[in-house]
Amino acid sequence: MAKGLTKRQELILQYILDYIQKEGFPPSIREIGRDFQIGSLRGVTVHLDALERKSYITRANTPRSIRVIHPAYQVSNKVVMLPLVGSIAAGVPIEAQEHIEDMIPVPYEMVRNVDKAFLLRVRGDSMIGDGILPRDLVVIKPQKTANHGDLVAAMLGDEATVKRIHFDANMNVKLMPSNPAYQPIEVDREDSMVIGKVVGLIRDYEGMAF
C-alpha cells in the first residue's frame, strides 16, 4: 500500500495513472465515480481531496485537471494540459482563472519550449487559406510583439482574433485574413494589442460541422 493512503485512495490513484497512460489525459470526476460505483460527485471529490492533501495529486477548478505530482508516481510527459481561454479583457492576464473554460491535453512536443502557452477556439472561416477551420483550437505562445507576416492572436476590445499581421512602410498595422471574402482589419485602436503567436493547431474531426 502506498504510504499514508487507504486502499480505496490507492486504487483511485492507480486508476488515474492507468487512465493517463492510456488516454494521454486525466479522467473526469464522473468517470471515476462511474468506474468505482460512487453515487455522487462529492463522494469522488472526498477521495481526490485526500490525495491532494497528501501531495499525490494536484487539481485546478476545471474539468480533467488532475495532475499526479508525487515523485514515486510520475507518468510520461507526452502531453501537457493547456488552458482553453474564452473571452479576454484587454490588460487582464491570460491565465486569469475566470477566463479559463477548460483544460485540454496537448502533445508535449508542440509546446516544449513555450512558457504559459494557451489555447483559443477559432470562430468563423476567415483563415481557411492557412488551413485554419471553424472550431479548431490554436496553440498560442504568449508575446506582445510580432514580425511582418506572423500568424498572431490579437485583441480587439474584449475579443481575440487570429490573423496574419502586416506592417507597411510607415509601420501602420493591418490584420490580414486568408479568405478573400473578408477585408483586412486596420489596427489603429487603443484597445488593440498582440497577445501571442500561433505555434500549433488541434482539430477535432468528430466535432466538425460542414
Round to whole Å and give the CA distance between 84 and 202. 12
Catalytic residue selected from 65, 126, 141, 197: 126
Catalytic residue selected from 54, 55, 87, 163: 163
Verify whether residue 65 is a known catalytic residue: no
Verify whether residue 126 is a known catalytic residue: yes
Q: How many CB atoms lie within 10 A of CB 114?
A: 19
Closest CA to 175 of 157, 191, 201, 193: 193
Any idea what the Cα angle at residue 93 is, between residues 88 and 97, rounded to 5°? 75
Any idea what the Cα angle at residue 63 is, between residues 58 and 64, rounded to 5°? 60
Give catalytic residue positions: 126, 163
